[in-house]
Amino acid sequence: MAAKEALNRILLVGGGAREHAIGEALCRSQNVELFVVANNRNPGLEKLSSGNFVKRNEKDKDFIKDWALTQKINLAVIGLEDPLEVGLPDELNSIKIPTVGPISLAAQLETSKIFTRNLMRDYNIQGQVEYHYFTDANSFRKFLLSSSQDFALKPIGLTAGKGVKIMGEHFKSKGEAIDYGETVLHNTGGLIVEERLFGEEFTLQTFVDGETVLPMPLVQDFKRALEGDVGPNTGSMGSYSQSDGLLPFVTKEERDQALEIIRQVIHALRDKKILYQGILYGQFMITEKGLKLIEINARFGDPEAINVLPLLENDFVNVCRAITKGTLKSIDIHFLRKATVCKYITPPKYGYEPVQGEPIKLDTAKIESLGVRVYYAKLEKKGDLLLTTTSRSIALLGIGDSVEQAEALVEHALSQVQGNDHVRHDIATKELLQRKARGRKIPISA
Ligand code: AMP
Ligand code: GLY
């Protein structure tokens, strides 16, 4: 008798630790066969997809569309931003494959920072930041020379979290800031200059079906390469979440306000006849001037997906289908009331000149027996060896009743890994959380 085809033939695009966590969450559902396209061989995803894995550029939409057709895919989940920018969801929708990932017009919320800022201004949405948009170097230089303020300089498009540079922080002089802005203008044609804000940042990820927006627990990630939050911005070195879904420095009211901003953004898009179906990630900052929206991503965060997906109590495939059908309203979303801590093992000198080809030795079964989950990112496998590339290598996730407990689990696991040269051990430590809570005078909960 021929084997019965799985009911859910799901295509996942992307090969980082975030996608490993997405794949794991999808495979927790019944009757799933996973298919993966990624430009790197992720050992975790190779296993989850039982070899239904194609190494290919994630932007190659013609190939992906054809492969999805031949594999009779009936649901697609897009993990990273690059295929969103080139309109892979538009292509998959055109062949009737429901897709978790916004069409390119909607994904502009991430792919064009000026689109988002203008949308917020036009619809008078809270959380706006003062900004100036430049397309020519002369007016930009004049503007900067005539002002005594510090600004954040932002390329319009995707920069993998590494393109934003802040005056007073990343530049030694105004001249350096001008040089950077001019280079961005020369290379991309557009530059946003924003007022420099100060405050703590947090991430609110949401499920969105075009109308309904359902929140996930808040996460704080740590983008700076070095302990003490210094050094260059990276894709992120790690993250944590609390069991109550808030953070030491964020009140429920502030969380609700952030959610309301995302709802208004989605409704503004709807008003423009643009349907957003996918994951929407809001990066917020609590400042003296109130809650500000720093940026939107049109996908899960990496690593923030790793904090929240293992806690999701609903069937993730059902949630994905509801996103694509516009029926999220009927879903009562629940997450386990647990704290999480994620720390990335990265190549030596990550954030500066990452060293490729360094071995990382870990006994996955042993680490898992300590209660810590292992998510593979961008590694090269040579025989039994796992070697670093220029990107992040492995994420370890601890889950506990408190952040302290989850953090201790991860640190214990890290002590078992050889080649863990570059890890931010300060992430989610008691001292760090106390410092953050003290800044806002909010009592620490679990
Ligand atoms: P983005 O890619 O827009 O999230 O920016 C990356 C990081 O730069 C943010 O997480 C902030 O830490 C910082 N940043 C962005 N915009 C501002 C701003 N207007 N003022 C101060 N810091 C900012
Ligand atoms: N953690 C930052 C990002 O995913 O963009």
Q: Cβ of 344: how many Cβ atoms within 10 Å? A: 28
User: Looking at the structure, do residues 268 and 337 belong to the same domain, yes or no?
Assistant: yes
The domain of 147 spans 131-195
User: Looking at the structure, do residues 415 and 377 belong to the same domain, yes or no?
Assistant: yes
The least confident of 44-48, 399-403, 409-413, 430-434 is 430-434
- Whether 31 is covered by a domain: the verdict is yes
Ligand 1, closest atom to CA 113?
3
Say yes or no to pLDDT of 215 above 50: yes
**What is the pLDDT at residue 446?**
45
What average pLDDT does the chain have?
A: 93
Ligand 1, closest atom to CA 198?
21
**What is the pLDDT at residue 207?**
98
Pair 170, 233: CB distance under 8 Å = no
Q: What is the mean pLDDT of residues 174-186?
A: 91
CATH of the domain at 273: 3.30.470.20
CATH of the domain at 83: 3.40.50.20
> Residue 196: CB within 6 Å of ligand 1?
yes
Cα angle 317-85-271, degrees, rounded to a multiple of 5: 75
Say yes or no to pLDDT of 12 above 90: yes
Q: Count Cα neighbours of 411 within 13 Å in the Cβ-side half-sphere.
A: 13
Mutation pick for ligand 1 pocket among 167, 295, 296 (CB with most ligand atoms within 8 Å): 295
- Whether 85 is covered by a domain: the verdict is yes
* Domain end residue (candidates: 170, 195, 220): 195
Q: How far is the CA of 200 from the centre of ligand 1 (A)?
A: 11
**What is the pLDDT at residue 368?**
94
* Domain end residue (candidates: 76, 99, 122): 99
User: Looking at the structure, do residues 286 and 184 belong to the same domain, yes or no?
Assistant: no
Closest Cα to atom 15 of ligand 1: 294
User: Looking at the structure, do residues 90 and 213 belong to the same domain, yes or no?
Assistant: no
pLDDT tens-digit map of 291-319: 999 999 999 999 999 999 999 999 999 99
More confident residue, 397 or 381: 397
- Whether 383 is covered by a domain: the verdict is yes
- Whether 118 is covered by a domain: the verdict is no
pLDDT tens-digit map of 118-140: 999 999 999 999 999 999 999 99
Closest Cα to atom 7 of ligand 1: 164
- Whether 126 is covered by a domain: the verdict is no
Alpha-carbon separation of residue 208 from 122, 304, 335 (angstroms): 22, 17, 17
Going by pLDDT thresholds of 50, 70 and 90, the confidence category of residue 158 is confident
**What is the pLDDT at residue 161?**
63
User: Looking at the structure, do residues 189 and 211 belong to the same domain, yes or no?
Assistant: no
- Whether 347 is covered by a domain: the verdict is yes
Q: What is the mean pLDDT of residues 424-430?
A: 95
The pTM is what? 0.95
Per cent of the chain over pLDDT 90 is 83
- Whether 413 is covered by a domain: the verdict is yes
User: Looking at the structure, do residues 261 and 392 belong to the same domain, yes or no?
Assistant: yes
| Residue 13: φ, ψ to 5° | -110, 120
pLDDT tens-digit map of 331-371: 999 999 999 999 999 999 998 999 999 999 988 999 999 99
User: Looking at the structure, do residues 179 and 208 belong to the same domain, yes or no?
Assistant: no
**What is the pLDDT at residue 156?**
85
Give, to the nearest 10 degrees, the angle between helix 252-271 and helix 113-122. 90
Going by pLDDT thresholds of 50, 70 and 90, the confidence category of residue 2 is low
- Whether 44 is covered by a domain: the verdict is yes
Q: How far is the CA of 110 from the centre of ligand 1 (A)?
A: 14
User: Looking at the structure, do residues 215 and 260 belong to the same domain, yes or no?
Assistant: yes
Q: How far is the CA of 59 from the centre of ligand 1 (A)?
A: 26
Domain count, the chain: 3
Q: How far apart are CA 158 and CA 344, in angstroms?
A: 22
User: Looking at the structure, do residues 296 and 393 belong to the same domain, yes or no?
Assistant: yes
**What is the pLDDT at residue 444?**
47
Q: How far is the CA of 80 from the centre of ligand 2 (A)?
A: 10
Nearest ligand (C-alpha, residue 294):
1
Ligand 2, closest atom to CA 303?
1
Q: How far is the CA of 232 from the centre of ligand 1 (A)?
A: 12
Stated as kind and residue range, the H or E segment containing 414 is helix 403-414
Going by pLDDT thresholds of 50, 70 and 90, the confidence category of residue 419 is confident
| Residue 339: φ, ψ to 5° | -95, 155
User: Looking at the structure, do residues 162 and 229 belong to the same domain, yes or no?
Assistant: no
Q: Cβ of 171: how many Cβ atoms within 10 Å? A: 18
The least confident of 148-162, 281-295, 314-328 is 148-162
In single-letter form, the type of residue at position 351 comes to: G
User: Looking at the structure, do residues 227 and 179 belong to the same domain, yes or no?
Assistant: no
Long-range contacts of 359-362 (CB under 8 A, 24+ apart): 359/385, 359/386, 359/387, 359/388, 359/418, 359/419, 360/386, 360/387, 360/388, 360/393, 360/394, 360/417, 360/418, 360/419, 360/420, 361/386, 361/417, 361/418, 361/419, 362/386, 362/394, 362/416, 362/417, 362/418
Cis? peptide before 303, omega within 30° of 0: yes
User: Looking at the structure, do residues 249 and 308 belong to the same domain, yes or no?
Assistant: yes
Q: How far apart are CA 109 and CA 88, in angstroms?
A: 16
* Domain end residue (candidates: 172, 195, 218): 195
Q: What is the mean pLDDT of residues 430-436?
A: 84
